[in-house]
Structure 1
Amino acid sequence: MLLDTSKFYESCVKCGKCIPNCTIHKINADETTSPRGFLDLISAVNSHELSLDQNAKKIFESCFLCTNCVEACPSHIRVDSAIEAVRFEIAHKFGIAWYKRLAFYLLSKRKVLDFIARLGFVFQSCAFKIQDQENQNSGMRAKFSLPLIKKGRFLASLSKKSFLSENPEFIDNGGSKSIGFFVGCLSNYSYTDTAKAVLKIAKELRLNVDLMKDQVCCGAPQYFTGDFKRVEDLAKKNIAYFEKKLENLEAIIVPEATCSAMLNVDYEHFFKLQKDELWAKRAKKVASKIYLATKYFHDFTPLKELLEKRDKNELLITYHDPCHARKMQGVFKEPRALLNANFKLIELSEQNTCCGFGGVSMQLENYEKSLKVGLLKAKDIEKTKASVVSAECSACRMQISNALEQNGTKAVFKSPLELIASSL
């Protein structure tokens, strides 16, 4: 195994404080699918007491990697890192399904993906009912069951043009500072209003924006699936590109919690898994200049003061904390402070719970489990009676939008950046 996981399961004292916070354990209350259960199984695999078979594969792929257990653990044992390491072994032994390999190939080839996305935009209405109304969540619902997609499932629709292809490389807003913009795949191809909102905010703040058009996918879907070779290629391309760009940029901002966490935290973890200290140091250095968008706008610009001068909006909103924002990057006060400046914000009763997205494997092969978690979130949103639910993560957006639709909850999903831009 790439990582010596013995330090994780040997440190676990079986206190059980992780269990009430575990996302998969809430819907599948079995010791096997609990953080300490995962660690015991990894120990058994390493000592050859348990073979890494299809049953073990299914168990290890049921973890949402939400890191609730890491936060709850008195010793902060990195159960997520141990599971990521064993998923690499699973990918190595069983291979990666063809449809995942195809998706990962497309994510690494933007010109090809641009063409496929344009083609998909033209033909998506054949299999999906497109929904794009003010009082509904924007997206598309499957008209009939498709391979890996059940009838009625709600997904993000494709835009006619990707965000990067319809905007110039550099946007001069007449400011003295320039920032880089890492858009993320979902905001580039589907939730383009989020990316456009960043440009609107930057214009108001007189921040020049470099769209860094040679950026590549952050590699998060590949990382959580065990495709480490592709992660290495993407990570090295991005790090080298960021190093060059940061010679002339104050910072790089990201409107997506998952992408931001991958660039900020997981690149360093990944190269340490690979025992590559040189690239781990380079990843850590660039990470010091990479910020989740609301974090940067809150800490380094007068955006909050600008919003406070606007008329108060009476729209009632609630906020979901993406796991990759709050738990991995400690970002949760900043988006609330910006939203509170102009909106009426009501908190969820369960603030610190995962929405249930869980990555590619969870969405495609464990959809029923993912939906169960999502419906818990939808019911919590419904209790607030909020008109809008917000989160700085397009993966959460896709998951929560589907849960809201399946639960019949009336709330609409908007990125905090879209809400902020609408106030300006």
Structure 2
Amino acid sequence: MFAFNVTSDACVKCGKCIPVCTIHQVNPDETTSPRGFLHLLGAYQKGKLELDRTAKKIFESCFLCTNCVDVCPNSLKVDMVIEQARYDIAQKYGIAWYKRLAFFLLRNRGIMDILARFGYVFQTCGFKLHPEKRSMSLRDFPIVKLDRLLPSLAKKSFLNSHPEVIINGGKGKVGVFIGCLANYMYTDIGKALLEILKALEIDVYLIKQQKCCGAPSYFTGDFASVDALGKFNIEYIESFKETLEAIIIPEATCSAMIKEDYVHFFHDQPEWKARAEAIRPMIYMATDYLEKKTNLKDLLARKAKRSEVVTYHDPCHARKMQGVWKEPRALIAQNFVMREMSDPNRCCGFGGVTMQLENYRFAKAAGEPKATMINATGAKVVSAECSACRMQLGDALYHAKSDVVFKNPIELIASALREENVKSTNVL
């Protein structure tokens, strides 16, 4: 299964990866560091290490933030080899029933739609809702007694709330891949994106048969789900190649999965790897497309300048994997006061399904310093083009008793477009 021959011999032991490693920052042990992972992975590839439960625990502690890859002089793909090792772990030990249930629902959107509607009705039974943050906190839930903030379910999913094709004037045609969290929970992101595209007079295709990108399954080792979801989405996107100029995605993880990880995942299936590579030019993060391919910046420049301070967090799957970080800032800065935190590139600590469900103590520890950085800026809003970051940072700010709210940059941009046009002399 290994696409990369990464061994401990390939590591030059420079140590650049240690200070940026998210798990090492909260669990300073050489074993749970990039060098430790590499040593163990090399031994495993050579058949000198058995994947026992201790090794399982170690490999599942990585946040897959790619910080180590970003600074490595040899660009060693530690994260990808860990993902492949997790597949072998899943084959040997299986995947917990609650994860298998979640992945089943993500593969079957019709069933998920029904359960989400029921969940919306009954979520108040065990949770305290925070409407202004589109979140809810556990009260004293009978099964999981844990004080944390979670995204609340919307009354109706985004995809089921709008027609499949929205004609706005024909100045362009784009498809929207919305992502599961934005579809079922943070639905204001999709609504805001439709507002922006209407203002730009760009026609929208919601490509409603889209399925989960497969990232949760990929990071957990459920490669059978990734294979099915990846092939479906590739084939589905191919069907729009002659109709649409681009598929835009307001979610860093979904975009990175489709644009980057599909190619790596299908490394041993040449036909599907080639097809994954062929659709890459169509895939854009939403702010990347809007900043580079439209006149949105000019439209925003004619709107009111606000005194509201915003700080921006760089999702790992945006800046490091796709090189998208200047674009959202350039758009937000047209109408808001931007103030950078001390380390906007530091991982928020979401880390995936296993980290959130089984290693939450690590996720919580990784989120604490990020919340401190956000509060130190004095900003009232923290923004990032990633709903996984939103979920993690929302929880971190909740524990820090902070009043800072999270907004996707798409939501901020749409709110700015609603302002009346102003003359330059009135801009603060």
Q: Does TM, normalized by the shorter one, top 0.5?
A: yes
Residue identity in the other structure for 1:9 = S
Contact conserved, 1:163 with 1:187, CA < 8 A, in 2?
yes
1:284 to partner: Cα distance:
1.0
Alignment deviations for residues 256-304 of structure 1 (CA, whole Å, 9 cap, x no partner): 00000001100001001xx112111110110111000000000000001
Provide the residue aligned with 1:175 in structure 2.
170
1:58 to partner: Cα distance:
0.5
Gaps of 5+ in 2: 418-428
TM-score (norm 2): 0.96
Provide the residue aligned with 2:403 in structure 1.
410
Provide the residue aligned with 1:226 in structure 2.
221
Residue identity in the other structure for 1:112 = I
Provide the residue aligned with 1:389 in structure 2.
382
| Whole-Å separation in 1 of the counterparts to 2:311 and 2:408 | 11
Verify: 1:401 aligned to 2:400, yes or no: no
Counterpart among 132, 135, 140 of residue 139 in structure 1: 135
Provide the residue aligned with 1:346 in structure 2.
339
Provide the residue aligned with 1:107 in structure 2.
106
Matches within 5 A, 1:187-226: 187-226=182-221
Provide the residue aligned with 1:34 in structure 2.
33
Identity of aligned residues (%): 56
Verify: 1:268 aligned to 2:267, yes or no: no
Alignment deviations for residues 46-75 of structure 1 (CA, whole Å, 9 cap, x no partner): 333322111110100000000000001011
Counterpart among 395, 417, 422 of residue 415 in structure 2: 422
| Whole-Å separation in 1 of the counterparts to 2:145 and 2:4 | 37
1:369 to partner: Cα distance:
0.5
Aligned residues: 417
Provide the residue aligned with 1:69 in structure 2.
68
Counterpart among 365, 385, 390 of residue 358 in structure 2: 365
Verify: 1:163 aligned to 2:163, yes or no: no
| Whole-Å separation in 2 of the counterparts to 1:165 and 1:74 | 47
Residue identity in the other structure for 1:250 = E
1:138 to partner: Cα distance:
2.4
Gaps of 5+ in 1: none
Q: How big is the alpha-carbon RMSD for the aligned residues of Structure 1 and Structure 2? A: 1.0
Residue identity in the other structure for 1:210 = Y
Residue identity in the other structure for 1:138 = R
| Whole-Å separation in 2 of the counterparts to 1:178 and 1:111 | 27
Provide the residue aligned with 2:289 in structure 1.
296
Contact conserved, 2:6 with 2:81, CA < 8 A, in 1?
no
| Whole-Å separation in 2 of the counterparts to 1:33 and 1:356 | 15
Residue identity in the other structure for 1:168 = P
| Whole-Å separation in 1 of the counterparts to 2:53 and 2:10 | 27
| Whole-Å separation in 2 of the counterparts to 1:192 and 1:75 | 41
1:146 to partner: Cα distance:
5.0
Contact conserved, 2:348 with 2:370, CA < 8 A, in 1?
yes
Contact conserved, 1:317 with 1:387, CA < 8 A, in 2?
yes
| Whole-Å separation in 2 of the counterparts to 1:182 and 1:315 | 30
Describe the shift of the 1:346–1:99 C-alpha distance in structure 2 as closer, same or farther (beyond 3 A).
Answer: same
Contact conserved, 1:8 with 1:79, CA < 8 A, in 2?
no
Verify: 1:259 aligned to 2:254, yes or no: yes
Alignment deviations for residues 172-216 of structure 1 (CA, whole Å, 9 cap, x no partner): 002232100000000000000001000000000000000001111
Residue identity in the other structure for 1:29 = P
Describe the shift of the 1:246–1:365 C-alpha distance in structure 2 as closer, same or farther (beyond 3 A).
Answer: same
TM-score (norm 1): 0.97
| Whole-Å separation in 2 of the counterparts to 1:212 and 1:103 | 23
Alignment deviations for residues 369-406 of structure 1 (CA, whole Å, 9 cap, x no partner): 00000111001101001000000000000000010001
| Whole-Å separation in 2 of the counterparts to 1:310 and 1:322 | 27
Provide the residue aligned with 1:379 in structure 2.
372
Contact conserved, 1:355 with 1:377, CA < 8 A, in 2?
yes
Residue identity in the other structure for 1:185 = C
Contact conserved, 2:381 with 2:406, CA < 8 A, in 1?
yes
Provide the residue aligned with 1:246 in structure 2.
241
1:8 to partner: Cα distance:
4.5
Describe the shift of the 1:214–1:103 C-alpha distance in structure 2 as closer, same or farther (beyond 3 A).
Answer: same
Alignment deviations for residues 347-376 of structure 1 (CA, whole Å, 9 cap, x no partner): 010121000000000000000100000111
Residue identity in the other structure for 2:134 = S
| Whole-Å separation in 2 of the counterparts to 1:338 and 1:242 | 27
